[in-house]
Chain A
Amino acid sequence: MTEPIIQVENLCYRYATRNHFSVNDVSLSIQPGEFVAIIGQNGSGKTTLVKHFNGLLKPTSGRVVVNGHVTTEKSTSLLAKFVGYVFQNPDHQIFAETVRDEIAFGPKNLGFSEEKIKEVSMKVMNEMGLTGMEEDMPFQLSRGQRQRLAVASVLAMEPSILIIDEPTTGQDWKESMALMELVRELNENGHTCIVTTHNMNLVSLFARRVIVMRQAKISLDGPTQDIFRYGNELKEAWIKPPDIYALAQSILPGVKLDKPIVPEDLAAMLVEKLNGRS
């Protein structure tokens, strides 16, 4: 087994304003190239957990090792070289006067050459559907466009680990899909991708591993198609699996899924059962 790219050991974190732990004794490891979804109720600790992966938060106790670096020993700016973090609310991230400057800011800080900055800027703007908006003021863009700008400016740093905190906010299904397709492409090129989201349909389509947070702890961790079979446990974490998993379980009890499914897969399984019987 290769060295994990993220290793979390007995992590506890308490915000100064709270009297309970927001992450409570969490341990996990993520291998390079994984595509992981972290799901759970609002306030279950998802965002707090992932903010440890780039050193935005430092453990109250326990240890987080990213790419061989113990996060308490390194600055967030050093970690930013290989961990990209896209915030839930793009307005918490965007600050520049133009789209161009917003995207160039990260690569500039990382010391990319002018040439390289131009190249990556054009590439990510194209990928995020922002071409032609170089001179626009970020705050005049729509919420969906601002979200894509936030992603573009993180992608421009070409991080080996990409964390996206709720990619669907302010996006419609098509835009969320486009964003996730892009994340998948990065994942196929070797980037480790970690997504927190409430959209279980997206989780089912993209993530190969699901980690369920419940009351500051991990309650389930496994392959996507397996996790969605734990209807009762998920309910306790305020999660509802996509309808097709619950349907498959009720109508085709004992069926084994070796990968996440889409409606067409369930249709084929149901039709096969019907035909097999007649």
Chain B
Amino acid sequence: MAFSVTINGETREIDAPAEMPLLWVLRQELGMVGTKFGCGIGMCGACTVHVDGQAARSCSLPIGSIGERQVTTIEHLEKTPVGQALQKAWLDEDVMQCGYCQAGQLMTATALLTNNPNPTDRQIEGAMQGNICRCACYTRIHRAIAEVAKEGVVNV
């Protein structure tokens, strides 16, 4: 099947079965490997992308279901002020160990702060609890998000 999907503002033509998850389209049909495979069942968040600005698990999102909606991936993160601020905070806090889950963590954090620029600690935990970090860098992830919220960075 041929699909036309908007990814990072660009229209991409994809020839794949309708059930193929967006994750595998991104990684292996389009060569965009920033979005990561972790579990395949939406339990770990490593594959998080934005669909119309909301965090979504690309491993469980059939390509045929996307339609007109806008997909944004980690490769596009630095194009928004919130994404850029989070990238910087991630580096300032030296958040990561292995780093494999961090694309998903950043995408979830960006969706959180875009929708709620001033979350409470509990709201940060609530938003981030779907993202596993096997290295358990949670303290630093939390701190980096809180730092950006404190700076009051918003997308215009």
Partners in one complex: no
Chain B residues close to A by CB (< 8 Å): none
Chain A residues close to B by CB (< 8 Å): none
